[in-house]
Amino acid sequence: MEGEDTGTKGEALKSQIAIRCMRANFLISSLKSLQAYRNASTRDDGEEEDKRDRLLRTITNLKIELAREREMNRQIRIFSSVEAFFCILVLLSLWSFCLTFAFGSE
């Protein structure tokens, strides 16, 4: 009987140890997955932050490029209107010279 008691006590002790080991293993694995999740979310937050920074830099660069393009177009418009004005001025000068030459020789 005594051998039977020690046998059942030993089996109960082994089963309790096995249960404790399984609980500890479960807690460790959940802790590892939680840390991995936190690391991944931190990494994702960092990657998301980097992606957002790159996007903002790209937007800023595109805005600067657009402003330069608009300024260049404005200058081209101004210079083309000045060029047209000078062409008209030269044509009027030539026309008046021709008129004075044609009617001034009398």
pTM: 0.45
Domain assignment present for residue 3? The answer is no
* CA–CA separation, 87 and 29 (whole Å): 84
Range of the domain at 57: 9-41+50-104
What pLDDT score does 1 carry? 47
Element spanning 72, H or E: helix 2-104
What pLDDT score does 12 carry? 76
Domain assignment present for residue 88? The answer is yes
Mean pLDDT by 10 residues, the chain (106 residues): 62 78 72 67 71 87 91 93 96 94 75
Buried b (16+ CB within 10 A) or exposed e, 7-36: eeeeeeeeeeeeeeeeeeeeeeeeeeeeee
Domain assignment present for residue 4? The answer is no
Count of domains forming the chain = 1
What pLDDT score does 74 carry? 93
* CA–CA separation, 17 and 25 (whole Å): 12
What pLDDT score does 105 carry? 61
What pLDDT score does 101 carry? 86
Domain assignment present for residue 1? The answer is no
Domain assignment present for residue 25? The answer is yes
What the block records as the tokens of 77 is: 């418009």
